[in-house]
């Protein structure tokens, strides 16, 4: 069995060695640029980890694993464009280095490349893999659309938000694991259990992100704290704050979230103070624990020796207790 660290080194080495030799360079240079920005490479590592539960030759599925990472970075490229974001992983975003049209077209190319990489798997597994990958890609679009629609709504409920982050974040983690299991020859029961593990891991992961955006250490988090508050983003904390606020607290929340002119630090401090009064941090932490437990239960259903699943359990714990 490989450790997660060893698999990460394999993935990083493989992606660093990718060369796009087709022309025009103006289409492919932004692709290379996006992939050079790094990142945790969680999704391809999860695919290799799931595969490694059943087989040792993990390098044989590096192309599909690359496909999942290229796809993930394609979504980030287009997300940055839609959000008008200036920075990604400490570097200038593609639409800022080049322009909007280049970002759209190079992103489209990344989507096609992701499918090409993903299709480089055993022919007898091809339909199952591509069916799941295509469904996942469609679900992520659905999640992104819901996220955009939520920006215009004030009545988003917890269940709607959880469904949105399931689609936008969780299903790609889940698909990474299930595709790895399929390619490794897992039973349907094991593959489905690993998918469920990924869904719950993804939900806990996103809720942790929501929490860190308000309560994280900016020096460790890698970006300014309170960004979600400043752009009035619907997060779990916002939804629970409005749900549990008393009349006076709700009025203050509405005031801050409808003001067009404000001092950024004053708004962050005021909203965070309201969050503390209402107790949303504990509510979010409890949900993270709940989804982590569900993930563990799903992993326990996977019919391989417990010691073989330890790396997945460890990775989950590290993601849930991270400060960045």
DSSP reduced 3-state for 87: strand
What's the length of the chain? 324
Residue 154 has what pLDDT? 86
CATH architecture, domain 1-120: Orthogonal Bundle (1.10)
Element (H, E) at 182: helix 171-184
For residues 189 and 216, which has the higher predicted lDDT (pLDDT)? 189
Tens of pLDDT, residue by residue over 33-49, are: 999 998 999 999 999 99
Residue 320 has what pLDDT? 83
| Mean per-residue pLDDT of the chain | 95
pTM: 0.95
Q: Give me the DSSP letters along 142-199.
A: HHHHHHHHHTT-S---HHHHHHHHIIIIIHHHHHHHHHHHHHHT--HHHHHHHHHHHH
Residue 89 has what pLDDT? 85
Domain 125-324 adopts which CATH fold? Answer: Farnesyl Diphosphate Synthase (1.10.600)
Share of the chain above pLDDT 70, in %: 98
Tens of pLDDT, residue by residue over 90-119, are: 899 999 999 999 999 999 999 999 999 999
Range 286-312 average pLDDT: 97
For residues 87 and 189, which has the higher predicted lDDT (pLDDT)? 189
181 pLDDT tier (thresholds 50, 70, 90): very high
Based on DSSP, count helices (H) and strands (E) in the chain, helices before strands: 17, 2
Range 181-198 average pLDDT: 98
Residues of the chain with CATH 1.10.600.10: 1-120, 125-324
């Amino acid at each position: 069995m490989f450790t997660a660290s060893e698999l990460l080194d394999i993935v990083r080495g493989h992606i660093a060695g990718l060369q796009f030799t087709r022309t025009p360079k103006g289409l492919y240079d932004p692709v290379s640029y996006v992939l050079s920005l790094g990142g945790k490479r969680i999704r391809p590592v999860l695919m290799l980890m799931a595969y490694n539960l059943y087989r040792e030759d993990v390098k044989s599925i590096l192309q599909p694993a690359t496909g999942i990472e290229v796809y993930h970075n394609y979504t980030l490229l287009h997300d940055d464009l839609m959000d008008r974001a200036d920075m990604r992983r400490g570097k200038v975003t593609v639409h800022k280095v080049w322009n909007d049209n280049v970002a759209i077209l190079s992103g489209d190319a990344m989507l096609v490349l992701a499918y090409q990489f993903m299709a480089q798997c055993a022919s007898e597994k091809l339909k199952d893999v591509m069916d799941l990958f295509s469904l996942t890609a469609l679900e992520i679009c659905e999640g992104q659309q819901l996220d955009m629609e939520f920006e215009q709504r004030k009545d988003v409920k917890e269940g709607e938000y959880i469904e949105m982050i399931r689609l936008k974040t969780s299903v790609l983690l889940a698909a990474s694991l299930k595709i790895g299991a399929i390619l490794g020859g897992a039973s349907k029961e094991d593959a489905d259990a690993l998918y469920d593990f990924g869904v719950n891991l993804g939900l806990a992961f996103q809720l942790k992100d929501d929490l860190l955006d308000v309560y994280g250490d900016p020096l460790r988090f890698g970006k300014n704290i309170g960004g979600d508050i400043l752009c009035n983003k619907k997060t779990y904390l916002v939804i629970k704050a409005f749900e549990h606020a008393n009349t006076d607290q709700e009025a203050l929340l509405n005031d801050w979230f409808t003001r067009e002119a404000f001092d950024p630090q004053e708004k962050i401090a005021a909203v965070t103070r309201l969050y503390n009064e209402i107790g949303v941090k504990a509510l979010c932490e409890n949900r993270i624990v709940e989804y982590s437990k569900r993930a563990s239960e799903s992993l326990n259903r996977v019919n391989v020796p417990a010691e073989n699943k330890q790396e997945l359990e460890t990775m989950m714990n590290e993601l849930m207790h991270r400060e960045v």
